[in-house]
Chains A and B, each alone.
Chain A
Amino acid sequence: MNFLNLGLGELLGLVSAISAGVVALYLLDRSKRRQIVATLRFWSAADVRTELKHRRRIQQPWSLLLQLLSLALLLTAIAGPQLGIFDASGRDHVIVLDTSAWMGSRTNGTGGPGVLMDQAKANARAYLRSIPRYDRVMLVRADALATPATAFESNRGVLESAIQQSQAGASALNLSQALEFAQRAQKLQGQRAGEIVFIGAGRVSEEEAGLSALPTNLRVVSTSSALENLGLRKVGLRRSPSAPDSWDIFVVVRNYGLRPQSVDLGLQFSKSPAGSRRMTLRPGAEDQASFTYAAKSGGFLEARLNVRDAFSQDDRALVELPPQASSHVVVYSSEPQLLRPLFAANPQVDAIFESPDKFDPAVKADVVVLDRFIPPAAPRAASIYIQPPAAGSPVPVRSTRTGIRLDTWHAETTLGAGLRTRDVTLDLAEVFSPATGDITVAETSAGPVIVARASEPKLVVIGFHPGRGSMKYELATPLLFANTLRWMVPGAFRRWEFQAGTVGSVNVPVEKGAKLGDIRVLDEANRSLPFTVDDNNLRFFSGAPGTVRVQMGDREMVYSLTLPDVGEAVWRVPPGVRKGIPKAVLGDAAPRDLWPWLALLGGMGLLADWLLYGRSRAFRLRAAGAISPQWKKVTQWRKAS
C-alpha cells in the first residue's frame, strides 16, 4: 500500500488535526447553553428529560466515532492510496528521438505511408506504453544538436505531446553528442538510471558510422532507412576572374543509396535554362559538375536533380545572385587620351569623358575626375583632382617642384596598399599642405604629392599627372587608380562568392593576413552570428535553413544554407545492444487505486450518522407520525445539530 498524494506522516497529522477539530466542535455543539426564562412550567411539559446533572460528557459516542471514522476514510481517499507492489522510486529513461533531416524522407512502404518521423513517433509512443507508469522519461530531440524537449517526466500526456510536436529538422544527426547528452542527463538529474533509447534512422556522418563506444544501457529502436537517395551537397558560385560578366558555378551531387545511379542535373537562371549535365554516381560517391554562365543582371539560380527519390528536400537548391555592380566615373579633361587607358583597364569601371567646359556639379556619377582645372562649384560626388591649379585647390598647394623624386608610398594606407616605384622622378609636381586627418598616400622630399580626404564626399588630390612623364609607364599608376576607386566606391569592387550548402557547421577559408576585426558573420536579419577562426579557417554554425553572409574586407561570401544536411552513412549498431520495443511491462503490475472505495465508505458513514443521529431523524419520525416507545427511549437524547 502506498499513498500517491500524501505521505503517511502528513496523512496522520492531517487526520489528527481534523479529528481534534471535530471533537472540539462536537463538544462545543453539545455544551450547555445558559438561558433565563420566564417560567419553567412548560419545559417540563414539553416531553424532555431534565435530569442531566449526571450525564456523560460525550452523549453520542457512536455518532462521534462514526464521524471520525468517516473523516479518516475521506482523508485517506484524498491521500490517494494504492494497493499493489509499487516501485516508488521509478527509473529515469531518456528517449533520444532522431529529428535529423533524413527523418523527413518518405518511408519505403514497410511502415505505412508517411515519413520516417511518423514511424519514429509511433515507436516512441509504443516504448512509453511498455514501461511502468511511474518511470520518468526525458525526451531529447537529436539532430546536429541534442535538445531536451522535456525534463524527466512521469506524466505520459506531456511526453506524448512532446513526441507529437517533434518534427524532422534540417541538420544531420550527431549521434555521439546525443548519447553523451543522455548519459549526462541521467547522471546529473536522474535518480535511478533506466535506459537510453535511441529511436530513429541513425543516418550519421561517415565518422560516426562505426560508433561503438556506447552506453551499456542503450536500446535502439530503428526505423527502416535502407532508402535510395541522390542529393545536392553544395552549389558554389563566384564571378569568373577572367570574365567578370560570367559566373563560375560548381555543383556537388552525392549518391546516398546502395545502387549506382544516373541523374540529370539542370541549372536555371531566372527560370531560363543555364546548363545541364548527366551524372552517374557510384553508391556513396560524390561528383562535381562545373558550369559557366554569363549574366550581369541579378536573379535566382536554381540547381535541380531530375530524380524521384525518398528524400526530395535535397534535390533542389536556390541561390539569389546580385547584379554585377560597376562604378560610374565622369572624367573632365581636355586631354582624355592620357587618362583613358587607366579606366579602360578596369572592367568594373564605366568611364565617360567630357571637356571641362561641360562640367556639371550635379552630374550623376560615383566618381568625378577633374584634370587640371578647378570647377566653379565643387562636385557632389567623390572626386579626384589631378594637378589642380594652386588657386582653388581643395588641399592647399605648398609649392610646385620640378624634377623631384617620388620617395615614399604609404603602403599601410588603403590607397597606397601594394604600390611601389623605384627611381621615379616627377617632371612637375605640386606639393600639398595636408590638413589634420588627411591621408598622405605618396610623398617626396618636399612633402606630400598625393593626399586623400575622407570627408563627405571623399576626395583625392594628385599633385602630378599620372599620364605624363615617367609615371605613365609605372604599374603603380593603374593600381593607384584602382585603389582610389575601391576606396571611394567599395561596393562596386567587392568580391562576391555564393554557395548553397547544408545547414549545420560551415567552414570558410580565411585569406592570410586578414584582420579578425574586419570579419563579420551576419544572418538574414543582419544579426551577428558567433564564429571561430582557427588556423585560417572560419567556422560558424547555423541550425536552421537561411542565408548567412561572411564579410572579410572587400570580400563577401553568401551562404544560402537551404539544403538539408544528410548523413552520409547509416549507423551500424554493434551486436549486444538491446533492440526493439520491450514486450512486457518492466518491473511490476499496475497498482490499483483505493480512493473511490474509501470515499464511498466515508460518504456512507457520514450519511449514516446523519440518518441515525442527525436532523433527518426528526423529519423521518415526523413523517412516520408516531415514535415507537423503543425508539423514543433510544433517541431521548437527539443531537441538536
Chain B
Amino acid sequence: MPEPLLDTRLLERLERLTIQWRNSLPGLVGGHNTSRFAGAGQEFLDHRQFHHGDDLRAVNWRAFLRLDRLFLKMFHLEPRIPVRIMVDVSKSMETGESSKFDYARKLAAALCYVGLVRLDSICLQPFSGKLHDAFTASGGRHRFQPAMNFLTGLKPAGQTNFLECSRQFCSKYPQRGLTLVISDFLDDRDCEKPIQYLADFGHELILMQVWADEDREPPWEGELELEDAETGQKVELAFDRDARAQYTAAFDAHAAHIRTVAERNNGRYVGIPSSAPIEQAIFGPLVKSGAVA
C-alpha cells in the first residue's frame, strides 16, 4: 500500500487555509471571495436606478422617503468559481535526487484539500505533451480521498508541450477560473507564450515552479555526458565552478522571466525547491504570495 501523500497533522493545519483569487470572476453563488460583479451578496456595492422588474427587497426605502425616487441597492457577488490545478507529469519531473513529481503531487493534494474544505470545486488536470484525464472533486472534505487516489495513480511520462496543453486547456474549460500550474517549467520551448495564452483567456494564474537542487545548481564537476530526461538528447561537456555559476544565473533568469510574465498578467509566481518540506512551502512562500491565506 503506497504511503499517503499527506499526513493527518498537515491536513489539520491546512483546514484553516483558503484558496484566494484576485480577479472578479463570474460564477454561481456560494463562494467565499467577493467579486466586482453585483449579485446576491452581503456586502454593499452601489446604488442604481430602479427598473421595473427589480427586486423590491433591494430598494433603498430611506432614500425614496428623502428624495422621492427609487434607488436599488446592489451587493458584491461572492461567486463560486472553478479552481483548476494543472500538474506537470512529464518525464522531466522525475529527475533530481528529491523527486519533483512527488513534490508536485503533494502540493496538488494539499491545495485540493484546502479547496474542498472551503467547498470549492477543484479540478486536477495532469499534463505533459497534452492534457491527460482530469479529476474533479467538490462538495467537501469527504471527497478528498478519491482525489488522493487519483494523484497517487499518476505516473510521469512524456515530453512537455506547455503551449499545446494551454490551447487544449482553454478549449476544454471555457469558464474562467483560478488556474494553478505546478510544474518545473523546463520546457525547451519558451513558457511565455502558453502562460500569456491562458491569461488572455481570462484565467487567473498562480504558477508554482518546483525545482530540484540539481536543476538550479548542478553539483557535478568535470566531464559530463548529459541526457535530456524527456528528449533523450545527449551532450558531452566539461563543467566547473565558473560554468556552474553561469548555469545558475541562467536558471534564475528563466525563473525571473516566468515570474515577470505571471505578474504582468495579474497572476502570481511561487518558486519552491523540492528539498524544502511541503509544509514549509505551503505556509511559507505560498501563503506569502497570497495564493492561500
* Cα–Cα, bound, A35→B228 (Å): 9
- Asked if B237 and A49 make an inter-chain contact with CB atoms under 8 angstroms apart, the answer reads yes
Residue from A35, A47, A640 within 8 A of B226 (CB atoms): A35
From A24-32, A285-293, A366-374, give the one contacting chain B.
A24-32
- The answer to whether B65 has its CB under 8 Å from any CB of chain A is no
- Asked if A33 and B233 make an inter-chain contact with CB atoms under 8 angstroms apart, the answer reads no
User: Given that A41-B186, A47-B242 are known contacts, is A52 also in contact with B250, CB under 8 Å in the complex?
Assistant: no
B188 → A minimal CB distance (Å): 6
* Cα–Cα, bound, A45→B225 (Å): 16
- Asked if A640 and B237 make an inter-chain contact with CB atoms under 8 angstroms apart, the answer reads no
- Asked if A49 and B215 make an inter-chain contact with CB atoms under 8 angstroms apart, the answer reads no
- Asked if A38 and B222 make an inter-chain contact with CB atoms under 8 angstroms apart, the answer reads no
User: Given that A33-B222, A45-B247, A640-B223 are known contacts, is A38 also in contact with B237, CB under 8 Å in the complex?
Assistant: no
Interface mask (A52-90 → B, CB under 8 Å = 1, otherwise 0): 110000000000000000000000000000000000000
- Asked if A36 and B250 make an inter-chain contact with CB atoms under 8 angstroms apart, the answer reads no
User: Given that A38-B96, A46-B250 are known contacts, is A31 also in contact with B223, CB under 8 Å in the complex?
Assistant: yes
Interface residues of B in 210-227 (CB under 8 A from A): 212, 214-215, 218, 220-227
- The answer to whether A624 has its CB under 8 Å from any CB of chain B is no
- Asked if A37 and B223 make an inter-chain contact with CB atoms under 8 angstroms apart, the answer reads no
Which residue of B is nearest A34, CB measured? B225
- Asked if A640 and B215 make an inter-chain contact with CB atoms under 8 angstroms apart, the answer reads no
Which residues of chain A are near B242, meaning CB under 8 Å? Answer: 47, 618, 621-622, 638
* Cα–Cα, bound, A47→B237 (Å): 10
Residue from B187, B214, B235, B241 within 8 A of A43 (CB atoms): B235
Which residues of chain A are near B247, meaning CB under 8 Å? Answer: 42-43, 45-46
- Asked if A34 and B254 make an inter-chain contact with CB atoms under 8 angstroms apart, the answer reads no
- Asked if A38 and B225 make an inter-chain contact with CB atoms under 8 angstroms apart, the answer reads no
The interface residues of chain B, by DSSP majority, are classed as mixed
- The answer to whether A17 has its CB under 8 Å from any CB of chain B is no
- Asked if A37 and B227 make an inter-chain contact with CB atoms under 8 angstroms apart, the answer reads yes
Interface residues of A in 109-141 (CB under 8 A from B): none
B174 → A minimal CB distance (Å): 32
A528 → B minimal CB distance (Å): 81
Which residue of B is nearest A47, CB measured? B246
- The answer to whether A641 has its CB under 8 Å from any CB of chain B is yes
User: Given that A42-B254, A45-B247 are known contacts, is A638 also in contact with B240, CB under 8 Å in the complex?
Assistant: yes
* Cα–Cα, bound, A618→B240 (Å): 9
- The answer to whether A40 has its CB under 8 Å from any CB of chain B is yes
- Asked if A33 and B223 make an inter-chain contact with CB atoms under 8 angstroms apart, the answer reads yes
- The answer to whether A630 has its CB under 8 Å from any CB of chain B is no
* Cα–Cα, bound, A641→B184 (Å): 31
- Asked if A40 and B228 make an inter-chain contact with CB atoms under 8 angstroms apart, the answer reads yes
- The answer to whether B166 has its CB under 8 Å from any CB of chain A is no
User: Given that A31-B223, A38-B95, A45-B246 are known contacts, is A618 also in contact with B214, CB under 8 Å in the complex?
Assistant: no
B101 → A minimal CB distance (Å): 11
- The answer to whether A436 has its CB under 8 Å from any CB of chain B is no
Which residues of chain A are near B237, meaning CB under 8 Å? Answer: 43, 48-50, 52
User: Given that A35-B227, A618-B240 are known contacts, is A40 also in contact with B222, CB under 8 Å in the complex?
Assistant: no
User: Given that A36-B229, A41-B188, A640-B222 are known contacts, is A48 also in contact with B250, CB under 8 Å in the complex?
Assistant: no
B192 → A minimal CB distance (Å): 14
Which residue of A is nearest B244, CB measured? A46
Which residues of chain B are near A41, meaning CB under 8 Å? Answer: 186, 188, 254
- The answer to whether B239 has its CB under 8 Å from any CB of chain A is yes
- Asked if A640 and B239 make an inter-chain contact with CB atoms under 8 angstroms apart, the answer reads yes
- The answer to whether B161 has its CB under 8 Å from any CB of chain A is no
Residue from A36, A38, A48, A52 within 8 A of B243 (CB atoms): A48
- Asked if B251 and A43 make an inter-chain contact with CB atoms under 8 angstroms apart, the answer reads no
* Cα–Cα, bound, A583→B243 (Å): 71
* Cα–Cα, bound, A39→B227 (Å): 8
Which residue of A is nearest B214, CB measured? A37
* Cα–Cα, bound, A41→B231 (Å): 12
Which residues of chain A are near B235, meaning CB under 8 Å? Answer: 40, 43-44, 50
User: Given that A36-B229, A40-B235 are known contacts, is A52 also in contact with B95, CB under 8 Å in the complex?
Assistant: no
* Cα–Cα, bound, A50→B92 (Å): 21
- The answer to whether A637 has its CB under 8 Å from any CB of chain B is yes
Residue from B233, B236, B243 within 8 A of A46 (CB atoms): B243
A35-B220, A36-B228, A52-B223 known; 20 new pairs, CB 8 Å cut-off, are A34-B227, A35-B224, A35-B226, A35-B227, A36-B95, A37-B214, A37-B227, A38-B228, A38-B230, A39-B188, A42-B254, A47-B243, A48-B237, A49-B237, A52-B237, A52-B238, A618-B240, A621-B242, A638-B242, A640-B222
Q: What are 14 A-B interface contacts by the 8 Å CB criterion?
A: A30-B223, A31-B223, A33-B223, A36-B95, A36-B226, A36-B227, A37-B215, A41-B188, A45-B250, A47-B242, A50-B236, A52-B236, A618-B241, A641-B221
Residues of B near any A CB (own CB < 8 A): 92-93, 95-96, 100, 184, 186-188, 212, 214-215, 218, 220-230, 233, 235-244, 246-247, 250-251, 254
5 cross-chain pairs, A with B, having the tightest CB-CB distances, nearest first? A640-B222, A52-B236, A46-B247, A640-B221, A38-B92
